Amino acid sequence: MEKEKLLIRPYGDRKDDGVVQISFVLPVPASEQAKEAAALVAKKLGLSHVLVSAMEKAGEDYSFFVVYGRTHMQLDFNAIEVPTVIHRKHGYDELNEVIQRDLGRRIVVVGACIGTDSHTTGIDAIMNMKGFAGDYGLERYPQYRAINLGSQVEPAALVLRAKAEGADAILVSKVVTQRDVHKEDARALIDAAKQEGIFEKTIFLFGGPRVDHKTALELGFDAGFGPGTKPSDVANYIYYRILERAGKIPLPQETAHGTQDATIAGASVSPSGGPPEKLGETL
């Protein structure tokens, strides 16, 4: 069914005025000439009614600018399609129960912050026992065996450890993204997994402040988790992804905790009995 168009424009002072704010640095000393150069940059970008609202020295022979302008651009919001991770989310006790019921074993996850990145806040929030925001980390789950390798782990080393542990999933965190180093390291991890023969049977998850599900899919991962992701989001996703790969998506049924064990949106068996759709492809 074709969606009705929803045309939108940037909003500054009032709806649909097209006002935007941009900021940038030019490699020249702060001066009236530099200010005019900043205005010309904005105009060459297609902005009208340009106003340079701030000019500050950003270093020797460098200047920082904040510029306002109007754009005539508009887009159809309803035409935008972005893949998202959609799944049923069980509570802590219930998830442990259904893992034991459906798999009969612990799920093994190996995680690390790869490359030269030394920021462990993200990987620790998901893997460590205390988790964050009152949401338990994977180490706290009796039905998970979480192995956190910490920071500055080479992609090949992470793959070898995951292979040795028989990991169901590999969780990668990247905070540093300058010059797309997070993408380079992610591709190196996928390449190493293919060389070691574990790519097809392992679930790959990518997380970080500049990571989303679309980026993760493009890099060969199963899912991407950005800011705000909780450990329980990852724990539930891995459980259902394992079932999906094995063709064992369970029918809704009561659990000991009184709630129904439902299937993932976009991953249930089709009415014709065909194979389930892939996770993350439901928009």
Identify the CATH number of the domain in which residue 13 sits: 3.30.30.60
The active-site residue, picked from 5, 130, 201, 248, is: 130
pLDDT in tens, the chain (283 residues): 677 888 999 998 889 999 999 999 999 999 999 999 999 999 999 999 999 999 999 989 999 999 999 999 999 888 887 777 666 788 899 999 999 999 999 999 999 998 877 778 888 999 999 888 889 999 999 999 999 999 889 999 999 999 999 999 999 988 766 777 788 889 999 999 999 999 999 999 998 877 888 888 888 898 888 888 899 999 999 998 999 888 876 655 555 545 555 443 433 333 333 333 333 332 1
Asked which of 76, 105, 130 is the last residue of a domain, the reply is 76
In this prediction the pTM is 0.69
Element of type H or E holding 68: strand 62-70
What count of other Cβ atoms lies within 10 Å of the Cβ of residue 12? 15
Q: State how far the Cα of 184 lies from the Cα of 180, in Å rounded to an integer.
A: 7
Residues 6 or more apart whose CB falls under 8 angstroms from that of 200 comprise none
Q: Please give the backbone phi and psi of residue 32, each rounded to the nearest 5 degrees, phi first.
A: -65, -35
Query: Among this protein's residues, is 194 annotated catalytic?
Result: no
Domain assignment of residue 266, yes or no: no
Q: State how far the Cα of 190 lies from the Cα of 200, in Å rounded to an integer.
A: 10
Q: State how far the Cα of 208 lies from the Cα of 83, in Å rounded to an integer.
A: 17
Residues 6 or more apart whose CB falls under 8 angstroms from that of 259 comprise 90, 91, 94
Q: Calculate the CA 196 to chain-centre distance.
A: 25
Count up the domains in the chain and report the number: 2
Residue 194, domain extent:
92-245
Domain assignment of residue 258, yes or no: no
Identify the CATH number of the domain in which residue 236 sits: 3.40.50.280
Domain shared by 48 and 115, yes or no: no
Domain shared by 114 and 34, yes or no: no
Domain shared by 235 and 103, yes or no: yes
